[in-house]
Structure formats: C-alpha cells, structure tokens
Chains A and B, each alone.
Chain A
Amino acid sequence: MAKKSLVVLLILALSIAMFSGCGKEETGENVSTGTDTSSQEGTTNDGNSNSADNEKEDVKLDILWFADGVETEAMQNVMDNYKVENPHVEFNMIEVAYSDLDSKLKTMIAGGTPPAIARVTNPGLLFDHAQDLSEFMGGYDTFTEQYMDSLEPYYTKDGGVYAVPMDVTANGLIYNKTLFDQAGVDVPGSPEEVWTWEEFEQAVIEVKENSDARYGLLWDVTSHRWSTLLYEFGGSIINEAGDGPAINNEQGVAAMNYFKKLHDTDVIPKSVWLGGENPNNLFRSGTAVAHLSGNWMLSNYRDITDFDWGVTYAPKQATRSSVPGGKYMMPFKNTGVEEEAMKFLEYFAKAENTGQYCSDSLFISPRLDNSELDYEYGKEMFAIFSNELANTPPAAAKDWSRQDIMPVVNPDITDAIKDVLMGEAEAQEALDKVAQLITETIEAQ
C-alpha cells in the first residue's frame, strides 16, 4: 500500500512539475547560436547592457517573417544598424514558410501572444489587432503622403495607419534570352513596340519550335498573377463603383477563354497550373521560353549562369497592365512592446533605410522619394517594371486593395481558373460562381 501511494504521489508530482511550465529544459537552452539577428556582442535578455544608455530596459521584439530570396539579410542589416543606436533592443526573427504564415499568426493572436511585428501581405484582415501608427508617425497625411497613392487602401482605414509599406511588387515578363536568340526572335525594345497577345503568342510558339526549349510560357499559379491577363483584356474583378462584381462580364470571360486556349495549345504547359510544377524550377532549367512573374524573382534568378535571361514588356490586349502587390510591416496591439515596435518601424520608414532595404533585396520601394534607387544589379529591368506599373489601369490597384473582399474571394478565383482549365466548367459558369461569392461578401458587410 505504501508503494502504491508513493506511485500516486510521484505521478501527481510529475504532473505538477510538467504543468508549472518551469521546465528545466528551458534555462539551459538560451544559447542563441548561429542566428545573427539577436545580437552582435552577446547581450542577453537579463539586463547586461553594455551601452551608455543605462535607463532603457532591455526589450525583445518578435518579428514574424517569411522570405523568398535575400530580403532576410537585407532586413537584418537594417536591424543591425538600428541596434547601434538602440543596443537595448533585441530582435527575434521568427521565420516561417509563407504558406504557414497565416496559421502561425492567427494562432499567436488567438492565443494572446501576438508578435511585436509581422511581415504580411494582407494587412486589411488584421487591422483590428494592429497598433495605430498615425500619431506616432506625425499624422495620417504626413505619413501617407510619402508613399504611392495606390497603396493607401492596403495599410490604412478610417484615418488610422496600421502598417508600414516595405516593398512594392509588379508583375511582369521575364524571358530566356538564349532561347530567343537561338530562334532568332526579337523582343520589344521600348514601350512603343509593346506586342499584342497575338504577336506574343506567335513569338512563343516560334521560339519553342526553333530552339532547345521544351516549355512555352510559365505562369505562376495565383489569381493575382492571372488577373494580369484580366486587366490586359480590359476587365476587372470588382466593378467601378466598387459595389459589385465585374469578373464575369464579357472581358472577364474572354480573358478566361484565352487563358484556356493557351493551355490547350500547349503555349502554356499544363503541368504548372494543373500538375503543381513550380515555374521557378522550370525556368531555371533553361528550357522554358518565358515566365510571367514579377520583380521579386530578380534576386532569385540572379545566380543563373547557364543561360542569359532578361525582362521585357508584357503583352497588351485592350490595354497594357501589370498588377501591384506589396508587403507590409504591421505592429500589433497587446504585446507590451508597442512603443518600441513603432520606434523601429519609424526608423525603417525613413527614406534611406527603406531605400537601402529595397535596393539590397532588389525590390521596388513604396516610397515616392525612392524612385531612383541605386540597384547594383538589374537597373534596366527595374526601369521596365516601373514602366509597367505606370501603365496599369487603376482597376488593378482598386481591386486588390479591397481587403474586405479579396482574401475571401481569392482562392475561389484560383479554383474557377483550374476548373475551366480542366474542362470541368465553362468560363461563364465558373466566373458567375465567383461573382456570386463577391456579391454575398459585399452584402454580408
């Protein structure tokens, strides 16, 4: 019997020890090896500050982050520079895959432990949980004036500023120079010579048949990228008044049918949209004619040595178009470090810092005074992307900045495209379904 109670006691003790959260595993493991974001001289959390600034308490900022290329190092540079003046701040970069960002962020918020700052692409969904920066940044107008107009709906609402724009992306056309040269086909050399879709289609077919190419045009599998075609056909997702759908109108159906045609004739390989093949890998293999992607791929493709590649003007139909996109840094409420988070964002928002970050990562800066960034690579390519953005109809920015509609509708647009490509639905039918969802979403507001 004594043995029994001993066992019971043991189990109880174990359970208590486990749940008191003071695991012995924690204390020994605070060695931050290898992650060079945390500190330069081994400053730890418990106040061993070796700076002159002895009044400031040590602060740790959690930054929820994802990356496609080199922007992590670029951001770390910014952070390191910030720490020179602010040694009491320690940054903890929590890097996740983009596909996990949503769930990670939501679980953190729902659990009551939001990160100090998160890098996001859909800030609109999170406004309720974000810290209003307008006062801190010197007033709504003062702040927003410094940035591109088209971005405003993404990070502001009702006079409040809830995030800081980090970089702007533009969709555009990357092509394989080597293959084009092999086939003896030219690309437009200036905005005046921009080709129509018919001309471009022909060019792709010609290059494919007269060179080592195995694949035609690669197209990223997102509705955002597909919408480039939609705008070029003169269509849009939401109507001009902003109170109803437009995606299922004549232009929308035409764009969808054309997209299907390009697949059926193998101008676009089916393995990307349907087979899950990654366009980046395909392009890198040097056997694809072109890649309809965007400027973020520049830093990624930079190390390609097997073949020559470049950026050229995307084709037009009723009009030219690109689609803007961007990333934002959002400070959260209820973190206990809101002030410090905002201070860092203020630092980042300065022209020279945002500019440095963007030119290091090869991104376009969202700031109006950064239009002439000194990119150490690909200057002419950036010029083309900027030109594309400048020739984009307002519908593109208007649609995608509708943070109240787009996140809900986005996956359904992608589904509709896939259904049409697989032959499981007619273009009109599929688009009508999306239009229905848009209407419902607007009504539910």
Chain B
Amino acid sequence: MKVSKNLMVYLVLIIISAFFLLPVIWIVLSSFKAGTSLYKWPPELIPSQPSIENYIIAFKKGNFGLFFYNSFMVTILSTMVTLVINTMAGFALAKYKFKGRDLLLIGFISTLMIPLEVIMIPIFQVITKLNLYNTFVGIIVPPAATPTGLFLMRQYLLSVPDELLEAARIDGASEWRIFVKLILPISKPVLSVLTIFSFMWRWNDFLWPLIVISTPEKYTVQLAISNFVGQYNVDWNGLLAISVITMIPVLIVFLIFQKQFVKGMVTSGLKG
C-alpha cells in the first residue's frame, strides 16, 4: 500500500517537474543552434550541429565579465541591506503595538501596488536631485526596501509567542538584544527564503538600472540583454544564449541556500 501511494506521489511530482523543466531544456538546446539553423523547419529537437557560436556572439556584444561582476555586486549588497531593514521593520510591525502601526503596514504594502513603470519619471527626478544618477548606490538602496520581504518577515514573526518576548524582558534584556539574540536566530529559515528571493529580485532588476545607469561600465546583465533587441530586429541567437547565461548564477545561489533553509527548519523554538 505504502509503496504504491508513494509511487503515485513520485509520478505526480515527475510530471509536474517535467512541465517546469522542459521549457528551460528547450531553450538551452536551442541556444546551441547557430545562425539560421535555429529557424529550420522541421525543428531539430537535438541540434545536429551543436555550436557555441551564439554564446560567442553574446559575449562579444559587450563586456559580459564586467556586467556579471556588476550584477553580482549590486545583488549581494542590496540583499544585505534588505535582510537588515526588512527584518527590523517586520519585527516592529509584528510584535509591537504602536501608533500608526497598521497604517504603516498598509502603506508599505501599498508600495507593491504601484508598478514602477508608471512612476518612472518622478523616480528619476528624485534620483537626480539626490545625486544618485549613474551610481551603484542608486540601484542598491532604493529597491532594497522590498515590501514583499517586509511582509514576509512580519507574517513569519507574527507567530513568535509573545510570552517569549515578555520572558526576555523580565530578564532585563533590551529591545535590541531581544532582536539580535532571540528574533534573528528564530528567523533563520525565513531569512534564507528572503535571501533567495532578494537575490532573484535584484538579479533580475531591469527598470531600476535602465533609469539610473547611463555608462556601459556600470551595466548590469539584464540591461545588456535588451541590447539584443533593435528597432526592427530581434537577434534570437544571441538572445537565447544570453538568457541561458543569466539563469545560471541564480540557480547556483538557490542550490546553496536550499540546504541552509532545510537545516534551519530543524531549529525553531516554536515547536510546542
């Protein structure tokens, strides 16, 4: 009985995984088809003459080593900022009662409801007035105050028992100490999640760099992708290759943090 039920589960999971995996596989396979063989009909499932020409085109089109470095640096720094400020704010909103709390929460979340595209120009005006135009700070700091991250932390910290905090206070701990010694350790699992999320958000940021950055030395990878789309023309060959390249770092980060995430779950003073 148990075996067949587990088998069912495995089967379902495999089918689901196929749905998620096959498109990526197809893109990867396609990226190894050079020139017009990409458009051959009938299409070859596996390229008969695989070539890395597309990747060479993609690398040539710009200084991709530098772009990757920029993207990495911006992503890592911004993630660090996010972890700190989102957790602090999430803690305040979850475990304190203070005036304006609910208003602030709704305010933060409502930020999410404003698509960046529609306030591009005012944002740009603010950026230039603050002298952040064409600076890395301009694409590290502003997006770091992620409303989703804040919401995530707040929801998670809601389930921290108040008794735990009270006990610590009675013991004479300061609020900051409670934050560092109690809250942070408890939040490890969700912090791992937030790290993964933040990495992904910042890595894929496109609009912020488009608005703020003007010199090629500071381009991030996503900006570089858009160079493959001209006024009349879409360079599929280069586009597919560069798309594949950009998917890899995020995957690696995920695989690394996945283990931490699972480990972290075993902790939690939440049980019981």
Contacts A23-B135, A25-B136 given; does A107 touch B230 at CB 8 Å: no
In contact, A297 and B232 (Cβ under 8 angstroms): yes
In contact, B128 and A112 (Cβ under 8 angstroms): yes
Partner-binding segment picked from B46-54, B161-169, B214-222: B214-222
Chain B residue nearest to A60 in the complex (CB): B215
Q: Is B131 an interface residue (CB 8 A)?
A: yes
Contacts A3-B176, A281-B39, A285-B40 given; does A68 touch B233 at CB 8 Å: yes
Q: Is A57 an interface residue (CB 8 A)?
A: no
In contact, B41 and A281 (Cβ under 8 angstroms): no
In contact, A23 and B136 (Cβ under 8 angstroms): yes
Chain A: interface residue total (CB-CB under 8 A): 60
Partner-binding segment picked from B107-115, B117-125, B191-199, B261-269: B117-125
Q: Is A350 an interface residue (CB 8 A)?
A: no
Q: Is A180 an interface residue (CB 8 A)?
A: no
In contact, A220 and B232 (Cβ under 8 angstroms): yes
Contacts A66-B231, A278-B234, A281-B39 given; does A111 touch B125 at CB 8 Å: yes
Q: Is B158 an interface residue (CB 8 A)?
A: no
In contact, B128 and A95 (Cβ under 8 angstroms): no
Contacts A107-B211, A280-B234, A281-B234 given; does A33 touch B217 at CB 8 Å: yes
In contact, A103 and B36 (Cβ under 8 angstroms): no
A1-25 at interface with B (beta carbon < 8 Å): 1, 3-4, 7, 18-21, 23, 25
Chain A residue nearest to B125 in the complex (CB): A111
Chain B: interface residue total (CB-CB under 8 A): 48
In contact, A107 and B136 (Cβ under 8 angstroms): no
Q: Is B66 an interface residue (CB 8 A)?
A: yes
Chain B residue nearest to A327 in the complex (CB): B231
Give CA–CA (A111, B134) in the complex, Å.
12
- CB-CB < 8 A to B177: which residues of A? 3
Give CA–CA (A284, B237) in the complex, Å.
12
In contact, B135 and A4 (Cβ under 8 angstroms): no
- CB-CB < 8 A to A25: which residues of B? 73, 77, 135-137, 140
- Shortest beta-carbon distance from A10 to chain B in Å: 11
- Shortest beta-carbon distance from A214 to chain B in Å: 7
Give CA–CA (A307, B33) in the complex, Å.
18
Give CA–CA (A26, B135) in the complex, Å.
7
In contact, A98 and B130 (Cβ under 8 angstroms): no
- CB-CB < 8 A to B155: which residues of A? none
- CB-CB < 8 A to B63: which residues of A? 33-35
Contacts A18-B141, A106-B121 given; does A69 touch B230 at CB 8 Å: yes
Give CA–CA (A110, B176) in the complex, Å.
43
- CB-CB < 8 A to A31: which residues of B? 66, 217
- Shortest beta-carbon distance from B111 to chain A in Å: 19
Selected contact of B121 from candidates A32, A110, A113, A278, CB within 8 Å: A110
B56-81 at interface with A (beta carbon < 8 Å): 62-63, 65-66, 70, 73, 77
Contacts A33-B66, A66-B231, A100-B210 given; does A21 touch B131 at CB 8 Å: yes
Q: Is A41 an interface residue (CB 8 A)?
A: no
Q: Is B127 an interface residue (CB 8 A)?
A: yes
- Shortest beta-carbon distance from B210 to chain A in Å: 6
Chain A residue nearest to B230 in the complex (CB): A68
Q: Is A383 an interface residue (CB 8 A)?
A: no
In contact, B217 and A97 (Cβ under 8 angstroms): no
In contact, B216 and A95 (Cβ under 8 angstroms): yes
Chain A residue nearest to B74 in the complex (CB): A25
In contact, A293 and B41 (Cβ under 8 angstroms): no
- CB-CB < 8 A to A220: which residues of B? 232
In contact, A97 and B226 (Cβ under 8 angstroms): yes
Give CA–CA (A287, B137) in the complex, Å.
50
From B40, B210, B231, residue with most partner A Cβ within 10 Å = B231
- CB-CB < 8 A to A92: which residues of B? 214-216
Q: Is A133 an interface residue (CB 8 A)?
A: no
- CB-CB < 8 A to A26: which residues of B? 135-136
Chain B residue nearest to A6 in the complex (CB): B176
In contact, B232 and A68 (Cβ under 8 angstroms): yes
Selected contact of B232 from candidates A1, A32, A107, A296, CB within 8 Å: A296
Contacts A21-B130, A111-B133, A281-B39 given; does A104 touch B210 at CB 8 Å: yes
Contacts A4-B174, A111-B124, A297-B232 given; does A35 touch B217 at CB 8 Å: yes
A168-200 at interface with B (beta carbon < 8 Å): none
- CB-CB < 8 A to A111: which residues of B? 121, 124-125, 127-128, 133
- CB-CB < 8 A to A306: which residues of B? 36
Contacts A34-B66, A107-B211, A281-B236 given; does A21 touch B132 at CB 8 Å: yes
Give CA–CA (A110, B124) in the complex, Å.
8
- CB-CB < 8 A to A300: which residues of B? 232-233
Q: Is A426 an interface residue (CB 8 A)?
A: no
Q: Is A158 an interface residue (CB 8 A)?
A: no
Q: Is B229 an interface residue (CB 8 A)?
A: yes
Contact with A along B68-105 (1 / 0, CB 8 A): 00100100010000000000000000000000000000
- Shortest beta-carbon distance from A44 to chain B in Å: 12
Q: Is A165 an interface residue (CB 8 A)?
A: no
In contact, A97 and B229 (Cβ under 8 angstroms): yes
Selected contact of A284 from candidates B36, B66, B120, CB within 8 Å: B36
In contact, B217 and A280 (Cβ under 8 angstroms): no
In contact, A18 and B230 (Cβ under 8 angstroms): no
Q: Is A245 an interface residue (CB 8 A)?
A: no
Chain A residue nearest to B64 in the complex (CB): A34
- CB-CB < 8 A to B36: which residues of A? 284-286, 304, 306
Listed from nearest, the 5 A-B pairs whose CB atoms lie closest are: A34-B63, A98-B231, A285-B39, A21-B131, A68-B230
In the assembled complex, 26 residue pairs joining A and B whose CB atoms fall closer than 8 Å, in A order, are A1-B174, A21-B130, A21-B131, A25-B136, A25-B140, A30-B217, A33-B66, A35-B217, A67-B230, A94-B215, A98-B229, A99-B231, A100-B226, A103-B120, A106-B121, A107-B121, A110-B124, A111-B121, A111-B127, A111-B133, A113-B133, A214-B41, A220-B232, A280-B232, A285-B40, A293-B232
Q: Which residues of B contact A (CB under 8 A)?
A: 35-36, 39-41, 62-63, 65-66, 70, 73, 77, 120-121, 124-125, 127-128, 130-133, 135-137, 140-141, 174-177, 210-211, 214-218, 226-234, 236
Taking A7-B176, A25-B73 as known contacts, 10 extra A-B pairs with beta carbons closer than 8 A to each other, sorted by chain A number, are: A19-B130, A20-B131, A21-B137, A31-B217, A67-B230, A92-B216, A97-B230, A99-B229, A100-B226, A293-B232
